[in-house]
Chains A and B, each alone.
Chain A
Amino acid sequence: MWIYQKKLEFPINITNPDLKVAKALMAQYGGPDSELGAGMRYLTQRFSMPDDRIRATLNDIGTEEIAHWEMIGTMIHQTMENASLSDLEAAGLLGYYTMHGKAVYPADPNGVPFTASYIQATGDPLADIAEDMAAEGAAWISATFEAFLL
């Protein structure tokens, strides 16, 4: 089971909201290679993982990914919380606002909702680990980080 700890893994207090960053962060919140995807992938694959060390790793990194997901959600929430409608429109978030208001919905920056089809659990340890490495690689090279620089 899981016990909730009422703190973030790393404290977040955004004083200068940037909606372009919020939109980019949605890739990490609800995209295919998001923290949510990673957490679901690891916590799902662990059941059929035959190796002790890999099973432990999947369990514990899966748990940590959920804590990362909470941090990304916090950043999006704090950034959008006080944004005006015109700010949202300028950042290309009018469609998002129409559908979700200022809720923190798991969708990517284009509004595509998160789906379980982003992850795989084959029951084959090597196939699953290859999928994990591909997703981690995609998360790192993703344009999310590039978008921060704009």
Chain B
Amino acid sequence: MDQCELQNRISEVQFVCIELNLYLDTHPDDQAARSDYYTYSRLLDELVTEYETEYGPLLGFGHSPADVGCWVCSEWPWERK
């Protein structure tokens, strides 16, 4: 996947995680949703690791240990492509 495709894939999986997280906030005992949340969280983690290994850090403050890319030089998300 190129950078843009991988970013979009991360956004898709992250969206699933956000919605499941919000659902679980009010339904913490729903086992099916917890299982889905776990599955998608692991997938998100894999995609983010793949992205960061190839294109550099997505997260600040020490949460992206990959030694590639450049936090300061990579484009900011509000910049037009």
How many residues of chain A have a CB within 8 Å of chain B? 26
Bound-complex Cα distance A96 to B23 (A)? 40
Of A7, A14, A15, chain B has the most CB atoms within 10 Å of the CB of A7
**Beta-carbon contact of B21 and A60 below 8 Å:** yes
Bound-complex Cα distance A10 to B10 (A)? 10
CB distance from A123 to the nearest CB of B (A): 21
Contacts of A3 in B (CB 8 A): 59-61, 63
**Beta-carbon contact of B28 and A53 below 8 Å:** yes
CB within 8 Å: A-B pair count: 66
Once A60-B25, A78-B80 are accepted as A-B contacts, the answer to whether A6 and B11 lie under 8 Å apart by CB is no
Contacts of B25 in A (CB 8 A): 53, 56-57, 60
Interface residues in A8-59 (C-beta closer than 8 Å to B): 8-15, 52-53, 56-57
Q: Indicate whether B74 reaches chain A with its CB closer than 8 angstroms.
A: yes
Contacts of B15 in A (CB 8 A): 9-10
Contacts of A61 in B (CB 8 A): 22
Contacts of A53 in B (CB 8 A): 25-26, 28
How many residues of chain B have a CB within 8 Å of chain A? 25
Q: Indicate whether B18 reaches chain A with its CB closer than 8 angstroms.
A: yes
**Beta-carbon contact of A7 and B80 below 8 Å:** no
CB distance from A102 to the nearest CB of B (A): 12
In the complex, what residue of chain A is closest to B61 when comparing beta carbons? A3
* Seed contacts A13-B81, A56-B26; 11 additional CB < 8 Å A-B pairs: A3-B59, A3-B60, A3-B63, A6-B57, A6-B60, A6-B76, A8-B11, A8-B77, A11-B11, A60-B22, A61-B22
Q: Provide a sorted-by-A list of 14 A–B residue pairs whose CB atoms are within 8 angstroms.
A: A6-B57, A6-B74, A7-B77, A8-B11, A9-B11, A11-B77, A12-B78, A53-B25, A56-B25, A57-B22, A57-B26, A61-B22, A70-B77, A78-B78
Binding site for A on B (CB under 8 A): 7-8, 10-11, 14-15, 18, 21-22, 25-26, 28, 57-61, 63, 71, 74, 76-78, 80-81
